Structure formats: structure tokens, C-alpha cells
Amino acid sequence: MNVALWIVQGLVALGFVYSGWLKAFQYEKAKAAWGWVKDVPKELVFFIGLVELLGALGIILPQVANVWPVLTPIAAIGLAAVVLAGALFHVKRKEYREISVNFVFFAFAVFVAISRF
């Protein structure tokens, strides 16, 4: 079970590093990749990207370093909240293709949170 949990944590971290990096530091690429980026303030996109990057670090580093490992499930809960908010945003905009990715990452983040608590 621990191996599966680490694989899921790694996938979650990689996914959020990718999307967070685009949102925070490659705005033009994010705008080209996701239509919703054009419709929200650039500062909000940047903030979401930073939150995703910090969450990706938080879902891995405390557990690896064994320094305050309780931060790992807390980071997972935070990422699940970000993804849930994103899913609701996509539902409102009728962007149903994006919602499936949100649900996958939501499920992964909840799995990590429950398993690490």
C-alpha cells in the first residue's frame, strides 16, 4: 500500500508542478493551453499557480524528510480544495472536458490525505 501511495503522491506532485508552473511563470503558455485563463485576472492565475506549486512541495517534502509529516495530508486537503473549486468553476462555464481531470486529481489528493492521516 505504501508504494501505491508514493506513486499517487508523485503523480499529484508532478501534475501540480506542471500546471502551477504554467500558471505562475508561463502565463502565455497557460493562456494558450486553457481558455479560462483569458477570462480571469492574471494575478489570480499567478496566485493559483503558486498555491499549486506549494501544494506539490507539501505533498512530498514533509513525508520524505520526515519533518512535520502531518503537513503532507494537510497539503493534500488544500490541493483537493483547489481542484474542487476549479471543477465548480468549470461546471459554471460548461467546460466539461476539464472537469474529468479535476475529478482525477481530487480523488488522488483525497486518497493521499486519508492515507497519510
State the residue range of the domain holding 62: 2-116
Tens of pLDDT, residues 70-104: 999 999 999 999 999 999 999 999 988 889 999 99
Tens of pLDDT, residues 27-66: 999 999 998 999 999 999 999 999 999 999 999 999 999 9
Record the pTM: 0.92
* CB-count exposure of residue 28 (10 Å: 0-12, 13-18, 19+): exposed
| CA–CA gap between residue 28 and residue 63 (Å, rounded) | 34
How many independent structural domains does the chain possess? 1
